[in-house]
Copies of this chain bind each other. A is one copy, B any other.
């Protein structure tokens, strides 16, 4: 399989992420997430779709979709990213709030051989330090049935599956509260009008009120009552 430029890899990765959240990737959202102008995105999408690599299907004014080939490249980039994050934490003492930026650069430069060695060193982990699943070498990304903490009702118990990794400040905050993947919690209260949602973590005493901005970034698996 051919090599792609960092820019192309970033587009594919981002399209994948948006699709994985269940939306169609549009110019505006891509532009915002890639921190470039909409015009630039338009131009790039046109070129990508015209390329013989066939990574993307694109209908003017109606967004892009990854082809199977494009999805494969995106998954490789994401695998690199999440393996690197895991490695930096496990082997070099990084905090989970420090690895995202570093991985964003390294993901494009890691060879397949280095990827393999890192994966082997870590024992082929299934998730990165933020709980995000690591795609297997040539497989797909498991579709987890988790949902935002902001959507959980009062009284329900849940287990944290993952948290957004983009904002280091948020990560340090969550860390202080013990809101980490695998941790269990219970929603004790929800105020109306996007008011704070209160959680009790892992049977501890204290109850934390969390803003909408925070609960939107925490994903949980709600206990089934049967």
Chain A residues proximal to chain B, CB less than 8 Å: 88, 91-94, 98, 101-102, 105-106, 108-109, 111, 113-114, 117-118, 121
Contact = CB atoms under 8 A, between A and B. Distances in A.
Contact of A109 (B93, B106, B111): B106
- A-side interface mostly: helix
A36 B102 CA distance: 30
Nearest to A98: B113
A92 B109 contact: no
B109 A105 contact: yes
8 contacts: A91-B91, A92-B117, A92-B121, A98-B113, A102-B111, A102-B113, A102-B114, A109-B109
A33 B91 CA distance: 34
A92 B105 contact: no
Nearest to A94: B117
A101 to B, nearest CB: 8
Contacts of A109: 105-106, 108-109
| 6 tightest Cβ-Cβ pairs between the two chains A and B | A92-B117, A105-B109, A109-B109, A106-B109, A102-B111, A102-B114
